[in-house]
Chain A
Amino acid sequence: MGIDGAMLEVVPRPAAWVDGSGVVRAANEAWRAMVGFEEGRRPSHECLSAEVTLLLADVLVGRAARGAADTPADGPGGRLWLRWHVAATPDGALVLAEDVTAEHAAAERLDAVLHHLPAAVFVLRHRDGRLVEASAEVETLCGVSRAEVVGKSAEHVAALRNKGVRRLLADAAEQPGVAIADRGVELRLPGGRRQALAAARVADYAGEPCTVLTLVDVSDRWRSQVQLRTRTQRYRLAFEAHPCPARITRADGEPFAANHAAAALGDAGVVTDSLPLDDGSGGPTGFVLHLLAPGDAP
């Protein structure tokens, strides 16, 4: 095949053909504008990079049929990343340049997100049940590093064997594309129990159906809510069981609660005292305690 510059013009990327001795014999206009060296010369390390010229040499001597290498370059709008593709032809090699600046920017962003996202993220591929991506937070929450879980089966990760998580994954599978969010799960991990809010969605990742699962550690809030619930329950039960017949209303008279002793009085109970309730430091709570007694009491 004889390749000349006119033929390379049909290639919608910067392209050149290099003969067996490494000399550029044809290039299209895009190549000339971007790479800027003349036909009839060997590309130097300065024009390409050491990596690309070595790759080209390997292809020309038959050590490789093809290959690609990325190099940075200065462009008019800032730094570019170019990917140089080299492929053997019967009597030389084709070299193509591809602008992969967007790929590098996206890779940096993806890396930044996965390293700094304050949530454990697992991407589970349906085809083989393997984890194809994970965030660094996985190590903080689950005690296994990102490198340890990527490529492994979901069964390998203790957090993913959790009943609540499995139920969530099953629910997400029934509604592809829908985010199933904010399920509270308790993870029993080697380092102890952790509480997390879990969410999942079935969606395509890298062209394949996957489930993306997130776990956000909320153990501190969970503990404070459990304590609040315990305290509230203790005081509510105490109020309900207390032998003094009493009712609690809001300041505007709206009923809030009555205890068993008050209920036992029924309609016979009369209010003997009404105490505006404070919060312990003198601040109003907006509630009033009404103490009752039997109607015929003195």
Chain B
Amino acid sequence: MIESIMDVAELVRSLPLPAALLDGAGVVVAANDDWLALGLAEPGAAPRPEALAALGRPEARAAAGAGVVVVLGGTACLESPVRRLDDLLQALPVVVLLTRVDDGCIALAGAEAGRMAGRDTTDLHGLTVMEVGFHGDPAARKVIIDEAGRHGNRLRNLLFEPAFPHRRMLNLSSVTPLDFNGRQHFCSVVLDVTERGEEEERLRESQEAYAAAFAAFPLPTLLFDHRLALAAANAPAEQMLGRDALQDASRPMPHPTLARAADGGDLPAAESPSRAVQGTRRAVHGWRLHFRRPASEDLRAMLVDVFPLPHAADDDLDVMVVIMGDAP
């Protein structure tokens, strides 16, 4: 038998967890220091429901007949790992997934995972990454399982096309294998790089078109980087100058220049049209140069046009040399 409400109130004050005794109207009759420290409600006031949420997992039990209730919270509510994990998963601005290796089921998902998949995040738990659509290609998932699952390798920045029904995307995924609860898992970060991927695709297409056009120009044409190392030569240039000479010219400087002085010696810097173009940043036309014929010491006088190719990002200047024909 409970002697009195006062005894219960004293008991409540002694409890080593946030606790209060409430009357039938929900007003605090007595509370311990832990309760008061949380600022929930002073005696004589009723705690707000949202304030009670700060108690973690509060439990209540009728004390002495109808309307007298002891409310007891959990420990370290705000610092609780449950709260911190939940907060972190809600707050992480990128997609985070913890998936089991053996069956591909999602064990843990951040809020952004639900947003990306177009589903409620809690619905993802227990579904496989294939079912949800994070992986559209079983072969791509097999690569991850082989590399990360079997060999324990971290995988960085893999490009994937997921298979979400609501939108087409390109994802960049990084994966770390880990053992968790006695089972092998993958911890993944997934970034939506659709726009970057589309830009890269456009760049790749452009590069293909322009490089192929360069190769198809009928005039012998050479591209040099800003250090005047040969970066590319088309087939007519290779035919005219020889593969060996072009290979030498593509090595880092200093290397023998393709063009020679009129006596067959090294071309003085002052006579190099490429250096002139780099200095003035203006094209030159009809510059007379001597080239060796392939596998020969014979010289051939040619007229070249040289064009500056300015980088957008810096002051470096690539140059293009177009051999226009034999010099008169």
> Which of chain B's residues has its CB closest to A102's CB?
B82
Given contacts A181-B94, A238-B210, contact A206 B16 (CB under 8 A): no
> In the complex the two chains form, is B219's CB within 8 Å of A214's CB?
no
Q: How many A-B residue pairs have CB under 8 A?
A: 283
* A110 CA / B39 CA spacing, docked (Å): 28
> In the complex the two chains form, is A98's CB within 8 Å of B74's CB?
yes
Cβ contacts under 8 Å, A117 to chain B: 96, 176, 187, 189
> In the complex the two chains form, is A201's CB within 8 Å of B93's CB?
yes
The stretch from A4-12, A35-43, A44-52 touching chain B is A4-12
Q: Which of A102, A119, A234, A279 contacts B94 (CB 8 A)?
A: A119
The stretch from B59-67, B118-126, B138-146, B247-255 touching chain A is B59-67
> In the complex the two chains form, is A216's CB within 8 Å of B174's CB?
yes
Indicate if B275 sits at the interface (CB-CB under 8 A). Answer: no
The smallest beta-carbon distance between A241 and chain B, in angstroms, is: 4
> In the complex the two chains form, is A112's CB within 8 Å of B70's CB?
no
Indicate if A85 sits at the interface (CB-CB under 8 A). Answer: yes
> In the complex the two chains form, is A232's CB within 8 Å of B175's CB?
no
Cβ contacts under 8 Å, B72 to chain A: 11-13
* A205 CA / B307 CA spacing, docked (Å): 59
> In the complex the two chains form, is B188's CB within 8 Å of A103's CB?
no
* A6 CA / B108 CA spacing, docked (Å): 43
Cβ contacts under 8 Å, A216 to chain B: 94, 157, 172, 174, 189, 191
* A172 CA / B307 CA spacing, docked (Å): 46
Given contacts A10-B2, A119-B94, A217-B156, contact A231 B16 (CB under 8 A): no
Per-residue contact bits, chain B 149-173, to A (CB 8 Å; 1 contact, 0 not): 0000010110000000000000010
The bracket for how many chain B residues form the interface is 35 or more
> In the complex the two chains form, is B17's CB within 8 Å of A96's CB?
yes
Per-residue contact bits, chain A 6-23, to B (CB 8 Å; 1 contact, 0 not): 111111110000000000
Cβ contacts under 8 Å, A237 to chain B: 309-310, 318, 320
Chain A, interface SS category = mixed
* A103 CA / B83 CA spacing, docked (Å): 9
Per-residue contact bits, chain A 190-203, to B (CB 8 Å; 1 contact, 0 not): 00000001011101
Cβ contacts under 8 Å, B112 to chain A: 179
Cβ contacts under 8 Å, A229 to chain B: 203
* A133 CA / B88 CA spacing, docked (Å): 10
* A182 CA / B169 CA spacing, docked (Å): 14
The stretch from B4-12, B40-48, B262-270, B289-297 touching chain A is B4-12
* A287 CA / B154 CA spacing, docked (Å): 39
A7, A107, A280 — most chain B CB neighbours (10 Å): A7
Cβ contacts under 8 Å, A289 to chain B: 212-213, 216
CB interface residues, B 14-45, toward A, < 8 Å: 14-17
Indicate if A108 sits at the interface (CB-CB under 8 A). Answer: yes
The smallest beta-carbon distance between A33 and chain B, in angstroms, is: 15
Indicate if B131 sits at the interface (CB-CB under 8 A). Answer: no
Cβ contacts under 8 Å, B54 to chain A: 207
> In the complex the two chains form, is B1's CB within 8 Å of A6's CB?
yes
Indicate if A106 sits at the interface (CB-CB under 8 A). Answer: yes
Indicate if A148 sits at the interface (CB-CB under 8 A). Answer: no
> In the complex the two chains form, is B88's CB within 8 Å of A87's CB?
no
> Which of chain A's residues has its CB closest to B57's CB?
A102
CB interface residues, A 38-90, toward B, < 8 Å: 66, 68, 83, 85-87, 89
A11, A100, A204, A207 — most chain B CB neighbours (10 Å): A11
> In the complex the two chains form, is A285's CB within 8 Å of B193's CB?
no
* A112 CA / B207 CA spacing, docked (Å): 43
Per-residue contact bits, chain A 206-225, to B (CB 8 Å; 1 contact, 0 not): 11101011101110110001
> In the complex the two chains form, is B206's CB within 8 Å of A206's CB?
no
The smallest beta-carbon distance between B86 and chain A, in angstroms, is: 8
CB interface residues, A 215-254, toward B, < 8 Å: 216-218, 220-221, 225, 228-239, 241-244, 246, 248
Q: List 8 A-B contacts (CB under 8 A).
A: A13-B72, A85-B16, A94-B15, A103-B80, A119-B94, A119-B174, A208-B78, A277-B209
Task: Spell out A's residues near B (CB within 8 Å).
Answer: 1-3, 6-13, 66, 68, 83, 85-87, 89, 94, 96, 98, 100, 102-104, 106-110, 112-113, 115-119, 121, 123, 133, 172, 179-182, 197, 199-201, 203-208, 210, 212-214, 216-218, 220-221, 225, 228-239, 241-244, 246, 248, 256-257, 275, 277-280, 285, 287, 289, 291
Apart from the given pairs A10-B2, A238-B223, A242-B320, 6 other A-B contacts in the complex at a CB distance below 8 Å? A86-B16, A98-B75, A113-B96, A119-B96, A181-B192, A204-B87
